[in-house]
Copies of this chain bind each other. A is one copy, B any other.
Amino acid sequence: MENKFAERLTGVDGSATREIFKLLANPAIISFAGGNPAPESFPKKDLADFAADILMKSGETVLQYGTTRGIKPLIGEIIKLAEADGIKAAEENVLVISGSSQGIELMAKSFINKGDTILVESPTFVGALQTFKTFQPNMVAVDTDDGGILLDDLEKKIKQHQPKFLYVIPTFQNPSGVTLVADRRKKLVEICAANGVKVLEDDPYASLRYSGEPLKPLKSFDTDGTVIRLMSFSKTISPGLRVGAAIGDAEIIRKFEICKQGIDVHTNNLAQAMVYEYIHSGKFQPHIEEIKAAYKQKRDVMREMIAEYFPKNVKVSPCDGGLFLWLTLPEGINTLDLLKTAVTQNVAFVPGTHFFAHGGHDNTLRLNFSMVSEAKIREGIKTLGGVITESL
């Protein structure tokens, strides 16, 4: 019997993500292709204790249906974390979500009519591109440089297209590692507010800073409900628990909540309670410091090895935090082909073209440094340097 699928799935085949997962699955390969935190960083002992304790003490409520909005103690902690970032939020402004990427789906579902224009960074998170596509928007890419979104290009494209919203990962961006510089942040929010364009601020890497000064989130410059901020505990506690938060205008958060009712009713209560206990116990901030020390070391080693073993005409984008380095190879090199060769030598990365709304940029690639050991980083980058040198 023929399957008459909805139009919205035409051309959405999940192949990029699938290929990345395949590269991660082969244990012989040193894979810089993932976006995963280091498994040894997970506080499994603390989480095991909290899980057992929560279930014994509050099993009757934690195992029962919960409200779509999320459990109140966790919402309270999220409000405090937002305050520390210069964001004022009340309960009506917060929705607990099942990982911050659920916020992308909720934003798309709440705002996009087929054919509406939305703006995305060039490059941007491949998962967001796929999610957006299922809502059939006109996706327009805004140019970026080593300081993030170019405000001139943003203004130009807003005037040209009257977009519904801008999707931006302002800090240690995925895939580029680049951070939207301080003097563009407030201005970006002002430009969008003045033009009635919402901003979806996806900021899962913000607390993983290894160098430079902390910057205020876009949401802290918001005065009229322009910015919806997505927070994640995937990179700082555990991605497997699927807990994040959306913070925004109360009316928007209510629409997100209505959409979330259909999507999963509510986020797993036990995971919410575990994240709450972990933050509330005071273990969260010291844990972030530990992760940062470990990832900084890995980033430094990867950059040193690239400097030593990669051809000098390979450009590495600036990276003060997060999980990724972004490389631009000389024009003419196709990283999809390069990957095929690299895999035969047991090294993998993600070709950059997957991260562009309209493809192209065939000479770019993304490297993840969080999940691979220091020794494997040394070995893998040396090998990859050889593969690149040979391809030139």
Contact = CB atoms under 8 A, between A and B. Distances in A.
Interface string A223-234: 011100000001
B67 A21 contact: yes
A283 to B, nearest CB: 15
Interface in A150-207: 164, 193, 196, 198
30 contacts: A1-B226, A3-B198, A3-B251, A3-B255, A4-B111, A4-B196, A5-B111, A9-B255, A36-B64, A39-B61, A42-B60, A44-B59, A45-B59, A47-B63, A48-B55, A49-B52, A51-B270, A63-B238, A64-B240, A99-B265, A101-B262, A105-B262, A108-B262, A131-B261, A134-B259, A239-B265, A241-B270, A242-B264, A242-B268, A268-B271
Contacts of A242: 264-268
Given A104-B262, A261-B17, A262-B134, A42 B64 contact: yes
Contact of A56 (B1, B48, B262, B265): B48
Interface of A: 1-9, 12-14, 17, 21, 36-37, 39-40, 42, 44-45, 47-49, 51-53, 55-56, 59-67, 98-99, 101-102, 104-105, 108-114, 116, 127, 130-131, 134, 164, 193, 196, 198, 224-226, 234, 238-242, 249, 251-252, 255, 257-259, 261-271
A268 B131 CA distance: 19
B64 A263 contact: no
Nearest to A192: B1
A270 B240 contact: yes
A45 B51 contact: no
Nearest to A46: B55
A51 B55 CA distance: 9
A268 B249 contact: no
A145 to B, nearest CB: 28
Contacts of A112: 6
Contacts of A255: 3, 5, 9
Contact of A2 (B36, B45, B196): B196
B110 A9 contact: yes
A64 B37 contact: yes
Contacts of A240: 61-66, 268-270
A127 B257 CA distance: 13
Contact of A127 (B6, B238, B261): B261
Contacts of A193: 1
A13 B6 CA distance: 24
A257 B262 CA distance: 16
Contacts of A262: 101, 104-105, 108, 127, 130-131, 134
